[in-house]
Every structure is written in C-alpha cells, then in structure tokens.
C-alpha cells in the first residue's frame, strides 16, 4: 500500500468519526484537515469534491463494519447468524470510535430526501444488507413466511436501539432489544 492510500485510510477513519457526530454534511474539509494536521488542499486532493468524500466515507464505514462480521460468519444456523449480527450491531453503535453512533444510520435520516451519489451509495448498501438478512430469515422461517416483513421488523429494532440508547439514554435499551428480537424470532418460527 502506497503512502497515498495510507493517508487516505487515516483520513477516512477520522472522517467516519466526525460524520458519526456531525453527519455527512456537517463534516467539513477544513475541520477534518485540522484534526489530522494536514493542509486543507492536500486533503482535498485525495477526493476531488466533498460529494466524493462523502461517498468514500460511506463505503469506508461499510468496510469497517464488515470487518467485524467474523462471529456472524462463524454461526451455523439462521437464528445464530441473526443473533450474532444483532450483537455485532449493538457493539458497533456503542463503539467509542463512533462517538455519534453509526454514521450510516445517521445518513439514512440525512440523505433520505437528497438526490445524488451519496444517497445512491447509501441505498445500494442498505439494499445489499437487506438481501443478506432476508436469506438468514429464510433459513429459519417456514416456507411461505413473509421474509421482507421479518426484515422490516428486525431493522425496526436496531433503529429503536439507536433512539432509546442515544436520545433517551435508557440504560435498559439493550435488554429491550433482546426481548423484542426473541419475540420476533419466535414469531418467525411460528408464521
């Protein structure tokens, strides 16, 4: 890996951190450069535009999340996979490297009504994740089950965790998540 690629990684790690707090729009080139002791123009040259930087941050964030999927891939059953995914997700949201929670969840509420490359990058990632999750539910639900419905409710739980934990600062947010998740699993098996 050349030097350019290395600084690019350093930049994106810090950008991910900042975007988790301030969002992709609140992330500024100047502030990012200062935080890394780089010149604004030097940093800028790595991406060419702010929009390209935002796309890079989204992809970098997805890659960093994917690095943590070891326990999920180690699982053997659909239920185990989903349990592991949820555990990884909760830890991800609470990671100190993300002082403002998951930047992708934040981007969902920031880019939902904006057109452009960042939104497209975001949606593509969301759709891919959704497809994977559908597959996990297929492995544990009886044939004919409404798999997309189950995924809808699964994502609902993760969004509610973000809300309960970060907005309300409810200390029992994790317990609520697991209770809701097990109820969902039970319903999936029954349906």
Cα gap 190→69, rounded to integer Å: 28
Contacts of 123 (CB under 8 A, 6+ apart): none
Answer whether 53's CB lies under 8 Å from 29's CB: yes
Q: From DNA, its own copies, none, which one binds at residue 106 (CB under 5 to 8 Å depending on kind)?
A: its own copies
Return the residue of 38, 56, 93, 104 that touches DNA, per CB under 7 A. Answer: 38
Q: How far is CA 77 from each of CA 64, 171, 179, rounded to the nearest angstrom? A: 24, 30, 20
Answer whether 56's CB lies under 8 Å from 117's CB: no
Q: Is 46 in the site for DNA (CB under 7 A)?
A: yes
Q: Is 35 in the site for its own copies (CB under 8 A)?
A: no
Report the nearest approach of its own copies to the CB of residue 8 (Å).
26
Answer whether 24's CB lies under 8 Å from 114's CB: no
Q: Is 21 in the site for its own copies (CB under 8 A)?
A: yes
From the DSSP assignment, how many helices (H) and strands (E) are in the chain? 10, 0
Q: From its own copies, DNA, none, which one binds at residue 3 (CB under 5 to 8 Å depending on kind)?
A: DNA
Alpha-carbon 140 to chain mean position = 24
Alpha-carbon 128 to chain mean position = 12
Return the residue of 45, 63, 74, 123 that touches its own copies, per CB under 8 A. Answer: 123
Residue 100 — φ and ψ, nearest 5°?
Answer: -115, 20
Per-residue contact string for residues 125-144; x = within reach of its own copies by CB under 8 A: -xx--x--------------
Strands (E) across 30-185 are located at none
Per-residue contact string for residues 148-177; x = within reach of its own copies by CB under 8 A: xx--xx-xxx-xx-xxx-xxx---x---x-
Q: Is 2 in the site for DNA (CB under 7 A)?
A: yes
Interface residues toward DNA, by CB under 7 A: 2-5, 7, 27-31, 37-46, 48-51
Interface residues toward its own copies, by CB under 8 A: 20-23, 25-26, 99-101, 105-106, 108-114, 122-123, 126-127, 130, 146, 148-149, 152-153, 155-157, 159-160, 162-164, 166-168, 172, 176, 179-180, 183, 187
């Amino acid at each position: 890996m050349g030097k350019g690629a290395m600084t690019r990684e350093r930049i994106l790690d810090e950008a991910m951190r900042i975007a988790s707090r301030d969002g992709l729009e609140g992330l500024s080139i100047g502030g990012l450069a200062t935080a890394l002791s780089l010149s604004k123009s030097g940093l800028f040259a790595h991406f060419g535009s702010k929009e390209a930087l935002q796309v890079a941050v989204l992809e970098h964030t997805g890659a960093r999340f994917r690095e943590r999927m070891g326990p999920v891939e180690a699982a053997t059953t659909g239920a185990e996979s989903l349990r592991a995914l949820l555990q990884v997700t909760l830890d991800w949201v609470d990671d100190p490297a993300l002082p403002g929670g998951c930047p992708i969840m934040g981007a969902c509420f920031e880019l939902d009504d904006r057109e452009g490359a960042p939104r497209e990058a975001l949606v593509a990632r969301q759709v891919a994740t959704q497809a994977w999750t559908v597959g996990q539910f297929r492995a544990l639900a009886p044939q004919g089950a409404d798999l997309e419905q189950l995924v809808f409710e699964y994502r609902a739980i993760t969004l509610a965790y973000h809300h309960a934990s970060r907005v309300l600062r409810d200390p029992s947010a994790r317990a609520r998540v697991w209770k809701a998740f097990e109820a969902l699993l039970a319903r999936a098996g029954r349906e």
